[in-house]
Amino acid sequence: MGKKILIHSIVFSPDGVSTAYLYNDIALKFKASGYDVVVLTTTPHYNVLPEALKVQPLKKRLLGLYYESNFNGIKVKHVPQKKFSSALLRIIGFVYWHILSFFIGLFEKEVSVILSPSPPLTIGFINLLIGKIKKIKVVYNVQEIYPDFLIEQGGLKSKFIISLLKWLERFVYNHSDAVTTIDAVFYNTIADRFRDRKKLTIIPNFVDTALYRPLSTVEISVDSNFFPLNTSTLKLMYAGNIGHAQDWVPLIKAAIRLKDRPFEFFIIGEGVMKNYIQEEIKDNNLTNVHLVPYQPREQMASLIAYSDLQFIFMSPEMEGHGFPSKVYTIMACAKPLLVCSGESTPIYRLLKDLQCAYLISERDIEKKVTAIINVLDSIDKVELKKMGELGLDEVTLRYSNDVVTSQYVELINKIITNE
């Protein structure tokens, strides 16, 4: 029997989010390494891109009980899922996805190993059930630490549910054949939750260095309606989810203080905090803050090249439980970063010795804003170029998709052969 891997993820192509892109590349690497690859996921519902659906159309199976698509020769099975506004409907949809995923996974033939990313924790539990029944290996990839993330966010207060999720977390960790996590901070956070730490391995996230690369001025292609050309201002940019994981207050405060100076802030994307930013722009007449709709992934290299500096301001409540993969994207495009985050967080630990980012760890909001402005006042564009080149060198050496996806293949090969 040949080697067959079942990748079980809540998102995958043609969904247009970072974890989907990550696992697209992982799936392709396994295929290139001789594996038979099957993906079990949801129908696109996080960031639905009509152009992606045209390239990868979904076909009904069993009267729409689930769907199938083809991703570069890889069979993808999609369980219907939607972004319901009703909490009850979201719960029902979530339960439906788990039940149907369990049976689809159970009837997938000749699988050697199952690989899945968090969140949610429950996906790891479903895979353990399938693995136990079918006697196959299970690998769990910790992209975000749950339930810690939910507790810090403030949305989870029930002691019973917290205890249940903590038990489930340890169960998944200790019954999986291997667990991977993305950096040393995450490793140290969860290592004590294992009976056998040898199961836990660090494999970082990565970036597609063919798609994300430095561009010359003549290669930059942006919509001038959103991104004026030939301006003399210093352009700062954030592109991604406009949500609670980012700290928007210091951005607004800094923009107010810099209103009449040659600095512009570009915020690109969608999310639950977009309305807040729109209201702040209006209330404070912030003509130096530009809120831009989601832009296609293929545009990102041009957008990053258009900017002078990329900024990421992490929310203090959530900064320790996630790592923004856009960091690698920015470094691959040879642009420096301005980052606000605590010293013990994954993003700070990664960047502190690389000299490709300005790092601000102040906790007091006014001190943080002052530090941001001091950085901007001290910027030299020659220095920015050197910082960007240092980031590119680091990505090329350690975080390209080929380097990192090879680590996944190596780990799975060892698990299958019991080495």
CA distances to 351, 359, 392 from 340, in Å = 11, 6, 21
Residue 48 has pLDDT above 90, yes or no: no
| pLDDT(85) > 80 | no
The residue written with tokens 């038990």 in the block is 167
pLDDT digits (tens, 9 = 90+) for 4-33: 999 999 999 999 888 899 999 999 999 999
How confident is the model at residue 325, as a pLDDT? 84
Residue 98 CB coordination number (10 Å): 15
pLDDT given at position 105: 96
Average pLDDT over residues 84-99: 86
Cβ neighbors of 102 (< 8 A, separation 6 or more) are: 126, 129, 130
The pLDDT assigned to 402 comes to 92
Residue 5 token pair? 């891997």
- Contact indicator for 227, 201 with CB cutoff of 8 Å: no
pLDDT band at 410 (very low <50, low <70, confident <90, very high): very high
Q: Give the model's pLDDT for residue 419.
A: 54
Question: Which candidate, 17, 16, 25, places its Cα nearest to that of 7?
Answer: 25
- CB neighbour class for 275 (10 Å; exposed up to 12, middle 13-18, buried from 19): exposed
Determine contact, residues 148/187, Cβ cutoff 8 Å.
Answer: no
Per-residue pLDDT, averaged over 98-113, amounts to 95
Report the pLDDT value the prediction gives residue 324, as an integer from 0 to 100. Answer: 86
pLDDT at 1 over 70: no
* Average pLDDT over every residue of 92-106: 93
State the average pLDDT over residues 199-226: 93
Q: What is the percent of the chain where pLDDT is above 70?
A: 98
pLDDT tens-digit readout, 49-63: 788 899 999 999 999
Q: Which domains does the chain have, with CATH numbers?
A: 4-206+400-417 (3.40.50.2000), 217-398 (3.40.50.2000)
Question: If you average pLDDT over residues 77-101, what whole number do you get?
Answer: 88
Q: What are the CA-CA distances from residue 317 to residues 7, 156, 162, 335, 362 (Å)?
A: 31, 13, 17, 27, 14
Instruction: Kindly state the helix (H) or strand (E) to which residue 113 belongs, with its residue range.
Output: strand 113-117
pLDDT at 84: 78
Amino acid 418: pLDDT: 79
Confidence of residue 237 (pLDDT cuts 50, 70, 90): very high
Q: Exposure of 110 by Cβ count < 10 A (0-12 exposed, 13-18 middle, 19+ buried)?
A: exposed
Total-model pTM:
0.81
What is the pLDDT confidence band of residue 46, given thresholds at 50, 70 and 90? confident
Is residue 180 within 8 A of residue 141, CB to CB? The reply is yes
Predicted confidence (pLDDT) at residue 156 exceeds the cutoff of 90: no
Q: How far apart are CA 1 and CA 240, in angstroms?
A: 42
Q: What would the pLDDT profile of 306-355 be if each residue is shown by its tens digit?
A: 999 999 999 987 777 678 889 999 999 999 999 999 998 989 999 999 99
- What is the pLDDT, as a whole number, of residue 322? 72
Nearest to 116 by CA among 7, 29, 5: 7
Q: Tell whether the model's pLDDT for residue 154 goes beyond 80.
A: no
- Average pLDDT, whole number, for the chain? 92
Q: How many CB atoms lie within 10 A of CB 7?
A: 24
